């Protein structure tokens, strides 16, 4: 009898094993010839080589499913474990037509989708281009979709890190009046990025990612002098970056990186004498291969139905 040791450090064991270990009991019944023992994040399996090989392959599929979707039900278990005798590839529920344009699955299986035509264009174009500009008014989902694409890339192990940044245009004298250290002063301006992540990554895992810097959220000024490689980087509120700041940011790009720049040219908060670097970038980078620009409109507004009317009243959309 041989022994196989497995680890489930990257997922929540409670999701894998189910309420009252219901999933664990189903898994054990599927493999009556094996002795399976689970303690914390470690799994030990005893049996002959052939059975252990089959179990390891299918168990890895279960773990990958939980890591990707943060959910697991009896149907999923039966589908994955039931494929052990077949050469047919295991189907991915995200490929099912009933799920629509799912970008990533959040906590408890919540589906984060591309909900408009231009959001779907964002999903498609980031596969073909390394830099994407997503420009549009408030409520069009440009930042939310960008964060979802970054989280998907992380879950699929296409990149090692996510970096989210914003220009802290309010970081002049106003920040000095806020209580706390520098991080506590800046965090309120980065709150929308945290909110998006909360919808897509379980709280404990997000906390770990932030602590070990798998996900980094920082002001744009913190990017200076760095090379950002093997990561997915999002610059939000880019209309508040100057020419020099935006040039600095774009030239941080390493060989294996994806950049998304989001902005709303109708909401520039820079001092009147400073020009938005976003205007310049959109003008001079249009025809460069590998860079795409998508303009979201009032048709892409996915907040309350009144938001579109408010934007139109203020003249932000036609």
Question: Do 247 and 224 form a contact (C-beta atoms < 8 A)?
Answer: no
- Say which CATH superfamily domain 98-314 falls into: P-loop containing nucleotide triphosphate hydrolases (3.40.50.300)
Mean pLDDT over 203-209 rounds to 90
pLDDT for res 99: 39
Residue with tokens 């231009």: 118
Model confidence at 68: pLDDT above 60: yes
The full set of domain ranges for the chain reads 2-91, 98-314
Mean pLDDT over 260-272 rounds to 89
Residues of the chain with pLDDT > 70, as a percent, come to 86
**Structure-block tokens of residue 40:** 């914390």
For residues 60 and 107, give the distance between their C-alpha atoms in angstroms, rounded to a whole number: 20
Mean pLDDT over 162-186 rounds to 64
Q: At what angle do helices 49-69 and 74-81 cross, to 10 degrees?
A: 140
From edge to edge, which strands make up the β-sheet containing 231-235? 215-219, 161-166, 231-235, 257-263, 131-135, 291-295
Q: Which residue has the higher pLDDT, 95 or 180?
A: 180
Q: Label residue 231 left, alpha or beta by phi (over 0 means left) and psi (-120 to 50 means alpha).
A: beta
∠ CA 174-235-175 to the nearest 5 degrees?
10
**Closest-CA residue to 197 (of 149, 127, 252):** 149
Class of domain 2-91: alpha beta
Residues of the chain with pLDDT > 90, as a percent, come to 36
Mean pLDDT over 259-269 rounds to 91
Model confidence at 93: pLDDT above 80: no
∠ CA 69-301-188 to the nearest 5 degrees?
70
User: Three-state SS string across the chain, please?
Assistant: CEEEEEECCCCCHHHHHCHHHHHHHHHHHHCCCCEEEEECCEEEEEECHHHHHHHHHHHHHHHHHHHHHCCCCHHHHHHHHHHHHCCCCCCCHHHCHHHCCEEEECHHHCEEECCCHHHHHHHHHHHHCCEEEEECCCCCCHHHHHHHHHHHHHHCCCCCEEEEEECCCCCCHHHHCCCCCHHHHHHHHHHHHHHHHHHHCCHHHHHHHHHCCCEEEEEHHHHCCCCECCEEEEECCHHHCCHHHHHHHHCCECCCEEEEEEECCCCCCCCCCCCCHHHHHHHHCCCCCCEEEEECCHHHCCCCHHHHHHHHHHCCCC
Question: Do 18 and 24 form a contact (C-beta atoms < 8 A)?
Answer: yes
Over the Cα atoms of the chain, what is R_g?
Answer: 23
pLDDT for res 181: 57
Q: What is the pLDDT of residues 231-256, one digit of tens each?
A: 999 999 999 999 999 999 999 999 99
**Closest-CA residue to 131 (of 285, 290, 277):** 290
pLDDT for res 75: 79
Of the listed ranges 86-100, 123-137, 181-195, the one predicted with least confidence: 86-100
**Closest-CA residue to 294 (of 167, 113, 128, 153):** 128
Same fold, 2-91 and 98-314: no
pLDDT for res 291: 96
Confidence of residue 117 (pLDDT cuts 50, 70, 90): confident
**Closest-CA residue to 120 (of 147, 135, 142, 153):** 142
Question: Do 223 and 249 form a contact (C-beta atoms < 8 A)?
Answer: yes
pLDDT for res 110: 77
Looking at the DSSP bridge assignments, the partners of residue 111 are: 105
Q: What is the pLDDT of residues 127-164, one digit of tens each?
A: 999 999 999 988 899 999 999 999 999 988 899 999 99
């Amino acid at each position: 009898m041989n022994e196989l040791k497995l680890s489930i450090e990257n997922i929540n064991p409670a999701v894998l094993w189910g309420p009252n270990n219901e999933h664990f009991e189903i898994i054990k019944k599927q493999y009556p010839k094996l002795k399976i023992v689970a303690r914390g994040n470690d799994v030990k399996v005893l049996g002959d080589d052939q059975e252990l090989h089959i179990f390891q392959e299918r168990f890895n599929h279960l773990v990958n499913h939980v890591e990707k979707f943060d959910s697991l039900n009896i149907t999923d278990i039966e589908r994955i474990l039931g494929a052990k005798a077949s050469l047919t590839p295991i189907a991915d529920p995200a490929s099912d037509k009933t799920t629509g344009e799912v970008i990533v699955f959040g906590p408890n299986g919540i589906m984060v989708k591309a909900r408009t035509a231009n959001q779907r264009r964002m999903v498609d174009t980031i596969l073909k281009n390394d830099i994407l500009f997503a420009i549009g008014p408030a409520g069009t989902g440009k930042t939310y979709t960008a964060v979802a694409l970054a989280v998907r890339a992380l879950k699929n192990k296409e990149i090692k890190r996510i970096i989210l940044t914003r220009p802290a245009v309010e970081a002049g004298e106003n920040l000095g009046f806020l209580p706390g250290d520098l991080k506590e002063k800046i965090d309120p301006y980065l709150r929308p990025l945290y909110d998006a992540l909360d919808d897509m990554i379980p709280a404990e895992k997000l906390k770990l990612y932030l602590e070990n810097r798998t996900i980094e959220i920082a002001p744009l000024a913190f990017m200076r002098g760095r090379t950002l490689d093997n990561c997915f980087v999002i610059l939000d509120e880019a209309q508040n970056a100057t020419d020099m700041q935006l040039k600095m940011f774009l030239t941080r790009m390493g060989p294996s990186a994806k950049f998304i720049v989001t902005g709303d040219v109708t909401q520039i908060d820079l001092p009147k004498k400073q020009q938005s670097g976003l205007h310049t970038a959109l003008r001079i980078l249009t025809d460069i291969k590998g860079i795409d620009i998508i303009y979201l409109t009032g048709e892409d507004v996915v907040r309350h139905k009144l938001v579109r009317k408010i934007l139109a009243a203020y003249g932000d959309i036609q």
